[in-house]
Structure 1
Amino acid sequence: MNEIKELTKAEEQIMHELWEMDGAFVKEVIDRLPEPKPAYNTVSTIVRILETKGFLVHESYGKSHRYIPKITKEEYKKLITGKLLNNYFDNSASSMLSYFLEENKLDLGEVNELLEMIAKQKKI
């Protein structure tokens, strides 16, 4: 896969389940989704779209298919955070961090964790 594309909300929900289970049949994915559960055909269509987009591969078991993530959650996280950083914070991690601080999205414990990470990076 050359370029990872962004997922729709529905595709992302399905991918999170497949990442968590490290692959599954459509019925297993549906079993894990919250109520109201989508129709089998809806999830099956989304899974086939994900396969076409290069996010999944499948193993055949007779007429059934088990879908397996082709990219990791970490790879996708890197893409999404990179786009967020580039598109909304002018590629500035400090701008993004200050936004989260100003919006009270970080509690004191998280701020202390970040300070510890920064201190460790300075020592390296």
Structure 2
Amino acid sequence: MKELTKAEEQVMQIVWELEEASVRDVVAKFSEPKPAYTTVATVMNTLRKKGFTNKIPAGKSHLFSVKISKEEYSGYKAGSLVKNYFNGSFSSMASFFARDKKLSIQELEEMIEIAKREISKEK
């Protein structure tokens, strides 16, 4: 799986929310000042090329549908976080977040479980 840039992630968050969207649908979901239509179209085409969305003809336009779910990408990011910043150690990651009191016990356990699944997929 490829990493999303900040702009790609912003657009993908909207596509995940809508499940299927045109470029106009995505632009409409942004708060002011809204990005240019052409900018969003470029990002959405990049997301398709990266395998995150499917492009479906819809009359004279196209719809983009989710190909990689938010959960799949979240798992990938969690696994990557553990691997790259905590040397693959779930306990180091849990200790870091517990010290900073940023996550509840349940949230820590869920994050660790997701990261474990993603790391085992990479092997």
| TM-score category, normalised to shorter length | 0.7 to 0.9
1:37 equivalent in alignment to 2:37: no
Query: Which residue is 1:22 aligned to?
Result: 19
1:93 equivalent in alignment to 2:123: no
- Which one of the candidate residues 42, 65, 68 is aligned to 1:68? 65
- The unaligned stretches of length 5 or more in structure 2 are 111-123
TM-score w.r.t. structure 1 length? 0.81
Change (3 A) 1:41 1:90: same
- The unaligned stretches of length 5 or more in structure 1 are 118-124
Change (3 A) 1:48 1:115: closer
Percent sequence identity is 48
Change (3 A) 1:23 1:80: same
Q: Quick check: which has more Rg, 1 or 2?
A: 1
Change (3 A) 1:97 1:36: same
What value does the CA root-mean-square deviation take over the aligned residues?
Answer: 1.8
Query: Which residue is 1:11 aligned to?
Result: 8
Q: Which runs of at least 4 in structure 1 moved beyond 4 Å after TM superposition? A: 114-117
> How many correspondences in the alignment?
110
CA deviation vs aligned residue, 1:60-103 (integer Å, no higher than 9, x gap): 12220000011111111111111100000111111111101222
Give 3-state SS (helix, strand or coil) of 1:50's partner: helix
TM-score w.r.t. structure 2 length? 0.82
